[in-house]
Structure 1
Amino acid sequence: MAKYNPLLWVGLLLAIASCERPAPPVTDSAGQASYNLTAYLQQQKEALEAEKPMVLKSVETQGKDAELVETSEVDWEDELTVFEQADLNRPSLQEYYTKQQQTLSDGSVQVEYSKLEDAEPQVHYLRLVLTPNGKLKELTATLQDQNIIYYSHRKIALTTNPKTGSIASYRVDGVQKMIFGDSLHYSVKANL
């Protein structure tokens, strides 16, 4: 029986680490859900897969020189997944955030979501700038995942073409660490 004890502990730790709380939709004072980022990104993935635009991409990891690539062969599903994680238009998140909204001088609307002090959601901060007609103009977010085995902290940003509403550029700066490993700092920048 004693030889199974370490396996039992590892299994228990993995089970605890994989637990997540479900999340309610974030709504504004009028009861409308927040901007549907997932729907926007899905539409963008389909358009980018069809158009295959040239992308200038820079990837930099800690201690290494930046690697610069220009290509039209991009896995958009994989590339934009991190931005879908910032979507607060999902069940059970409203109680974890404060929301501030203001109209900017150009008529755009800036909406900021900040996590409450005691809350532990993955999205710690989200700022959306929407055009006067409700299209995404800019996104900035801070994401953090942490459990007893893994830690990840990412700052993400995305801008769109003001005329078309299509993605123009994006950036991910992050650090990740496994409990028994070193931290890895990385940065990914892309311009379409």
Structure 2
Amino acid sequence: MDTWDKLNALHLDALREIGNIGAGNAATSLAGLLNNRIQMTVPRAGVLPLKDIAGLVGNEEDPVACVEFTVTGPAPSKILFLLSEASAYLLVDLLLGRPRGTTTALEEMGSSVLTEVSNILTGSFLSAFADFTHLNFKPTVPAFAFDMLGAVLSSAFLEGGYFSDRALVIETRFYGEEITIDGHFFLIPEDRALGKILQSLGLQLD
């Protein structure tokens, strides 16, 4: 039986709670970057088959910004952070001090900015897992892509060699005064890593 199939309601609640806190950490980091008060909500959180991720984020033809990390350490994993096209452009404008609506296509500067901010947000997200599990998560240098959702996910899954067919999904909405940024965190642990994460929380798999 796959490790994911052994998860019960208590396991899922624990993973969702850490994900919520991780998203809160990311919101705090984003507020610091923007020098603005940023709040966050998590419309959906849970475990989802990889094949259903595209439907959660949008349509396969929708352009998205995607940053992918490999996480090494005692619980090897993959992590993705996806931003909708509109949210990606808005972040670029805010971080570069441009009037909103200035960015309508992603250039080298915009890609660099999004990679850096995603690196910071993902680091904040992972720190919540590290704090709760006392495990050392070490993200590698991020890989950035801006393309249609279907193409980005297909490339990441095929070239990244994902360990599992399911992921912990944290749908996150960052918002402030006249600001809304929609993103998704996906944590995809290696099969044995999922058990190690739960064990560190004092939870055992049957």
Interval of TM-score (by shorter of Structure 1 and Structure 2): under 0.3
State the TM-score, normalized to the length of structure 1: 0.26
State the TM-score, normalized to the length of structure 2: 0.25
Q: Which has the higher strand share?
A: 1
Greater relative CO (CA pairs within 8 A, separation 6+): 2
Q: Which has the higher helix share?
A: 2
